[in-house]
Chain A
Amino acid sequence: MKPFDYIRPATLAEAVTEAARPGSAYLAGGTNMLDLMKVGAAAPERLVDITRLPGLDAVEWLPDGGVRIGALVRNSDLAYDARFAASFPMVAEALLSGASAQLRNAATVGGNLMQRTRCAYFQDPASACNRRESGSGCDARDGENRMHAVLGFTEHCIAVHASDFCVPLVALGAEVEVESSDGKRTIPIDELHLLPGDTPQMETALRRGELITGVKLPAGAAAFSGHARYLKLRERTSYAFAVVSAAAALQIEDGRIAEARIALGGVAAKPWRAAEAEASLVGIEPSQPAFARAGEIALASAHPSGANAFKIELARRIVTRVLTRALEGTPERMPALPGSPFAARPDKTSGVAHV
């Protein structure tokens, strides 16, 4: 690991001033940052430890029914917050499908949003990677790329964003609160992560020194709580990144879909909102053919970036399945295997269901 300076500011104002200096990076849970520093994919000259900043670790309910989640709230604390999980069940399910219990205890809300891609070539300093080093090339294109993007990629970068948490957040229209010495602003989460274009080194809309201070979910997002699921296909049952994942939420009125939300994970450099697929469902009676059509629409512009054509069909089916699960209704208790296609069904006496 390259040597660095460590500072631990006591106030937000001090932190954002320090972080505006070139070569600085924020440290919160450290679960991604320290890992990248160990392998040499990140080499900040100074770490600004924000874990002691006051006022960033609360889940705060707003008068209108929305919620503001402080950036330093730990993933496990948010997922196990009973009121939060009841109001936004697919967010809790996504959180619990990610990483391990130890990592969820350390990882923070803000850090989850800022996590870097798990592309092996990004993580290996000996490989060419336009995202890590602008203009160096992309070794993933002719490498091991079965896990890579099928939507929104370019010849410059085919990496995917690995977050589970961000997928339902995008579906529910969350807003990201950021602060710097220039002041505060709010960014819709769909605009936080950038597609690679010809500048894959620009990963987010944050400006130098800007710090995520919180994430807001609008009051309307809780209206989906009865029909909201997250489904994540992995190469092992637990503790793995998504091959593909999807969040789906429905509002059913008089037997028809009044509103639908769909987003996909593991398919692009950002959590992928499928707005046209959502629109195809509004006003109709829910049915398997309608859900399958939504899956087709969500992946209409997809194509392989390498040896990953299988992910396109997989993603269509995951969309169809997660819509089916959402229609069945949010389970009263979090499934034993959150987000898993193999989760046991609490309404059945035995066995697992491939729903």
Chain B
Amino acid sequence: MSLSISLAINGRQHDVALNDPRVTLLDLLRERLDLPGTKKGCDRGQCGACTVLVDGRRINSCLALAASMDGAEITTIEGLAEGDELHPVQAAFIEHDAFQCGYCTPGQIMSAVGLIKEGMAGDDPERVRELMSGNICRCGAYQGITEAVLEAGRKAAENAQPQTGNPDTGKDAA
């Protein structure tokens, strides 16, 4: 049995012939498309290491059948940076030392990108922790992760505001 699917991954179109419908999105990325940045932790939706964006929303790629993703737009950790310029969430993770061993980090970062997009956490560390609870960090780098997500969220909010100048200084906003 062969299934043909077509999906956009990090902006690039892929046509894939699946010889087995059991392939998950996670295994498709890692084993067949040479995108091993997305990590396999528990493979049961409990750790969040495999988090990717599907049509802009964060999900666990280990619990998604590749066949069911036909037509979707996928963003993985490999698709965040623009050339040598890191995505603001990646930069914030480095700035705040938000990891130790790094294995959960791609999932943490993709989850944080999804969280900021959802816009439900605001500047509240408790909401950030709650909305990041699907990403487990065995090294316990949660303090740095929370700070990084808060900072990246603040920057995203600033950039989203209309560029009409700073009322305090009278200078144009950068």
A positions within 8 Å CB-CB of B: 1, 3-6, 8, 27, 29-31, 34-35, 38-39, 47, 49, 51, 76, 80, 99-103, 105-106, 237-239, 336-338, 344
Q: A35-B63, A101-B58, A105-B59 are in contact. Are A4 and B22 (CB under 8 A)?
A: yes
Residues of A within 8 A of B58 (CB): 101-102, 105
Smallest CB gap from B24: residue in A: A34
Which of B41-49, B86-94, B153-161 sits within the interface? Answer: B41-49
Supply 10 further A-B pairs (C-beta < 8 A) apart from A105-B57, A336-B127.
A1-B22, A30-B68, A38-B44, A49-B67, A76-B118, A101-B132, A102-B111, A103-B63, A238-B130, A238-B133
Whether a CB of chain A sits under 8 angstroms from the CB of B78 is no
The answer to whether A100 touches B126, judged by C-beta atoms less than 8 angstroms apart, is no
Chain B contact residues, majority secondary structure:
mixed
Q: Is the CB of A106 within 8 A of B111?
A: no
- Asked if B82 is at the interface (CB within 8 A of a chain A CB), the reply is no
Whether B57 and A30, one on each chain, are in contact in the complex, defined by CB atoms closer than 8 angstroms, is no
A-B contact pairs, 29 of them (CB 8 A): A4-B21, A8-B67, A30-B64, A31-B45, A34-B24, A35-B44, A35-B63, A39-B44, A47-B21, A47-B65, A51-B68, A76-B118, A80-B118, A101-B58, A101-B118, A101-B132, A101-B133, A102-B51, A103-B45, A103-B59, A105-B59, A105-B114, A106-B60, A106-B64, A238-B130, A239-B134, A337-B126, A337-B130, A338-B130
Contact of B48 with A102 in the complex, beta carbons under 8 Å: yes
Contact residues in A for B48 (Cβ distance below 8 Å): 100, 102
Rounded to whole angstroms, the CA-CA distance of A287 and B130 in the bound complex is 32
Whether B111 pairs with A6 at a CB distance below 8 angstroms is: no
Report B136-156 CB contacts with A as 1/0, cut-off 8 Å.
000000000000000000000
Q: Are A101 and B131 in contact (CB under 8 A)?
A: yes
Interface residues of B in 5-25 (CB under 8 A from A): 20-22, 24
Q: State whether the Cβ of B3 lies closer than 8 Å to any Cβ in chain A.
A: yes
Nearest CB of chain A from residue B26's CB, rounded to whole Å: 11
Given A6-B3, A101-B115, A102-B58: A336 touches B124 (CB 8 Å cut-off)? yes
* Whole-angstrom CA separation of A86 from B93 in the bound complex: 36
Which residue of the partner chain, among A5, A239, A337, contacts B21 with CB atoms under 8 Å? A5
| Interface members, chain B 28-69 (any A CB < 8 Å) | 43-45, 48, 51, 57-60, 63-65, 67-68
Does A238 contact B22, Cβ atoms closer than 8 Å?
A: no
Q: Which residues of chain B have a CB within 8 Å of any CB of chain A?
A: 1, 3, 20-22, 24, 43-45, 48, 51, 57-60, 63-65, 67-68, 70, 111, 114-115, 118, 120, 124, 126-127, 129-135
**Shortest beta-carbon distance, B21 to chain A, in Å?**
4
A51 partner residues in chain B, CB cutoff 8 A: 68
**By the criterion CB–CB under 8 Å, are B63 and A106 in contact?**
yes
A237 to B126, CA, bound (A): 11
Write the nearest CB–CB distance from A282 to chain B, whole angstroms: 35
Residues on the A chain within 8 Å of B67, using CB = 6, 8, 49
